[in-house]
Structure 1
Amino acid sequence: MQDTPCPRVRLHQLRLYVDNHLHDRYLAPPLVLVAAALLTTWVPVWQVVLWAVVELAVIAVYIGVYLRFLRAQPQPSHEELWTRRIAWAHGAHMVMWSSIVVWAYVPGDLNPLMFVMLMQAGLISLTVAMSNPHRRLLLSDLVAPTVALVVPPLRDGTLFSLGLTAVGIFYVALMLQVGLRMHASTTETLVLRQRNDELIRQLGQQVRRDGLTGLSNREHFIATGRTELERAARYRHPLALLMMDLDHFKSINDTHGHLAGDEVLKSVSRVCREMVRTNDCLARLGGEEFAVLMPQTSLAQASAAAERLREAVAGLRCDLREGVVTPTMSIGVAIAHDGQEGLPSLMRRGDLAMYQAKAKGRNCVVLAPDPATRQEA
């Protein structure tokens, strides 16, 4: 099975690879020391010490690369760069272990041969178990130990040695098949997880969005409003609310039909979405009624924003098959100072201001009176 072309899945594979190999920081150094002690049985001590020092340094380098990768938390677009870095760093480790066949193997001596083949067979098994999440790194990690496993017996030229080479080849083929099957299973799991995450995200959006306009729905607006009021109370900043209603919308439905009314709602929604800030919550509350929550917004700023929205909607020309519609909107503006007001009260004041705009002839903005000022009066 080939690696999925999706960069996000490949990055997950690389993370799993790194997580598996991070155990090396605890196990690899003691293993180096044990192997070095055994090698001194037939190899000069200075060669063994040199190998052990270099190998410990290589381990420190690739563990450092792993830790930098985890700290960096790279994006999928950086997966290829980190794969190359890890391939070079861990590849040096594989080459160092496989180099034993060059300087520690004694042709014609069965004990060194068995030791070398045992070390390489164990290295291949560990590689399959730890490197399988990332197919490309799995294959590159297997190159050096595979060569070190199957080549030494060929140097003896005996029938027994040729048999060992054959056993080594079949063992590598078997372990490679196991590794690729494990990789395929891991990849399938990651792809399914990604699809499930995307499905959950889409379902979450559907729960929060109005099906016709794509704006936030009433439930999401209410939840957001409560959260923003709590934040406004905590940080002592004002929260503005715009309650908006399309004028004479019933007559649009009656004259042109409900499908035409839906097109008008969508056109108005697009215009309003372009006018509000990214941190504002624009919602369709139902029918032709809309609302905007504007955090950290004063009364003057909210009034100006409402006027811009009103003008934008008034300038809209909806060319429908049933005819041309030029909608207008009445807007009520209410402010919660320092978040010291409940959402129902704030929406009620905004609604009253919006109905006052209707009574004044529609297509205008009315500011709700400050409750504190009203109480003083």
Structure 2
Amino acid sequence: MPDFFTLYLVVLLLNLSHCLIWGLIAYRYRDLRAARFWLAGSGACVVGGIALSVQGENGLLLNTVAGNGFIILGFYLNWCGARSLHGDKVEWTHVSYLLGGSILVMLATFHPWYGRNPVYTLAQSLPLALTALYLMRPCRRDLGAVIASTAMVVGGLSHWIIAGGNMLIVTGLRPDLQLYQAASIDLLVFLFAAIIWNFGFLICTVDRLQTEIEQLANEDELTGIANRRMFMNRLTEICKKREGVNFSMLLFDLDRFKAINDKHGHAAGDAALKYAAAVIKKQLRPGDVFARLGGDEFGLLLPTTTVAEATAIAKRIVSAVKATTFSWGSLELGLTVSIGIASSKGSMISPETLMESADCALYETKRRGRDGYSLFAAPLEPASNIVRLGDFSSTGSAART
């Protein structure tokens, strides 16, 4: 079994390798704040490994406390990195109190090795337990989080077993218990666990970067809602799978948007689009797919929605947008939208046909003076601002004004 000097050198080399990995990731993805925390945590463990490797056989107060203090700091920085990766606030106050308390307790219990070992191992285990509990929450329980939290639990349990054995020696229950070899095994297990939890963090990082890429591919940069690509993909899926189930689609434009751009500038136009999108989102249900299709054109896909339900949603949107006032500096403008509604009554329909039908209904709304909605299919109930359209499928999509 290797001596502790050799094991501390292994700790040093292992954390240097972690520094290299997280340093490269932090350099390549500079907006990934979590990687900088994990780099700093590995760096702190490197400093701790150096201090412990030169402390000698009997252990020096400064080296022992400082070495373990830096390692504990590294583990708390792992906790900070996990919180940062998932968008939660880093609890610096808590970290400061817990780290400071651990150092004070280690200083106060610097006695023969069997006496201080339980304190040091438990102080190292606390940040691991906090990180594991954080990663085990259902909203964060992906593959990387499971791997990292499991490895931390294993490392903590290994430490706690040795701490328990030392407590038996200190209390006199088993004064003859020999733990030197077991402590070496504990350190080896802990090193292996550290490799695994850093691997788990790496998987978490890859998953987060992949999620960001998917968001960039499917999200409109200006408004934060879905883009045309995501909308069309979802529409295609529904058209293929929704035979026998009603679903509806709305297409709508922001009325006289070109005039806003020409008179007040594109910045005002962009702000108007963001404002209208935010107002419309409040009128929607979970599961509705709301997207910006381009310019001032929006689309709304309503799964398992009848014509009557789609009409009610369109009415809410028209009323909500009209009832609000868009402010831009000292300027206040009233906004309105024109909507076209198309619906499938349980039969198979192509995305192109549904889009064309909604487009024709939208053109009819604009032809009548805007600020309203029209149905491509016959409405279930008459209303003053609903127009029944004939079958436009043979005429194609009309040009808009």
Q: TM bucket by the smaller chain?
A: 0.5 to 0.7
The answer to whether the aligner puts 1:255 opposite 2:263 as a matched pair is: yes
Q: CA deviation digits over 1:183-204, x for unaligned, max 9?
A: 2222211122222222222221
SS of 1:340's equivalent in the other structure is: coil
The normalised TM-score by structure 1 is 0.58
**Distance 1:373-1:174 versus aligned 2 partners, 3 A rule:** same
Give 2:297's match in structure 1, choosing from 286, 289, 294: 289
- Contact 1:260–1:322 under 8 Å retained in 2: no
**Aligned residue for 1:304?**
312
Residue 360 of structure 1 and its aligned partner are, at CA, apart by 0.2
- Contact 1:146–1:172 under 8 Å retained in 2: no
Give 2:136's match in structure 1, choosing from 53, 76, 98: 76
Q: CA deviation digits over 1:338-372, x for unaligned, max 9?
A: 14210110000100110111010010111113699
**Distance 1:341-1:200 versus aligned 2 partners, 3 A rule:** same
What letter corresponds to residue 186 of structure 1 in structure 2? I
**Aligned residue for 1:225?**
235
- Contact 1:7–1:77 under 8 Å retained in 2: no
- Count, aligned residues: 248
Give the root-mean-square deviation of aligned CA atoms: 3.4
Give 2:195's match in structure 1, choosing from 173, 185, 196: 185
The whole-number CA distance in structure 2 between the counterparts of 1:251 and 1:265 is 13
Residue 321 of structure 1 and its aligned partner are, at CA, apart by 1.9
- Contact 1:131–1:137 under 8 Å retained in 2: no
Structure 2 stretches of 5 or more lacking a match? 1-70, 84-133, 139-149, 379-387, 393-401
**Aligned residue for 1:138?**
158
SS of 2:293's equivalent in the other structure is: strand
Higher alpha-carbon deviation: 135-144 or 207-216: 135-144
The answer to whether the aligner puts 1:194 opposite 2:254 as a matched pair is: no
Residue 171 of structure 1 and its aligned partner are, at CA, apart by 2.1
Give 1:275's match in structure 2, choosing from 283, 286, 289: 283
- Largest Rg, 1 or 2: 1
Q: How does 1:1-377 map to 2 (within 5 A)?
A: 1-2=71-72, 3=75, 4-5=78-79, 76-77=136-137, 134-143=154-163, 169-233=179-243, 236-321=244-329, 323-369=331-377, 374=391
SS of 1:324's equivalent in the other structure is: strand
- RCO comparison, higher one (Cα < 8 Å, 6+): 1
Residue 224 of structure 1 and its aligned partner are, at CA, apart by 0.5
**Aligned residue for 1:124?**
none
Residue 336 of structure 1 and its aligned partner are, at CA, apart by 1.2
**Distance 1:329-1:147 versus aligned 2 partners, 3 A rule:** closer
- Contact 1:208–1:217 under 8 Å retained in 2: yes
The whole-number CA distance in structure 2 between the counterparts of 1:192 and 1:356 is 54
**Distance 1:308-1:207 versus aligned 2 partners, 3 A rule:** same
Higher alpha-carbon deviation: 223-232 or 344-353: 223-232
- Contact 2:376–2:390 under 8 Å retained in 1: no
The normalised TM-score by structure 2 is 0.55
Q: Between Structure 1 and Structure 2, which shows a larger proportion of helix residues?
A: 1
SS of 1:362's equivalent in the other structure is: coil
The whole-number CA distance in structure 1 between the counterparts of 2:136 and 2:152 is 19
- Contact 1:314–1:328 under 8 Å retained in 2: yes
SS of 1:285's equivalent in the other structure is: strand
What letter corresponds to residue 245 of structure 1 in structure 2? D
Identity across aligned pairs (percent)? Answer: 27
SS of 2:282's equivalent in the other structure is: helix
SS of 1:278's equivalent in the other structure is: coil
The whole-number CA distance in structure 1 between the counterparts of 2:261 and 2:273 is 11
- Contact 2:338–2:365 under 8 Å retained in 1: yes
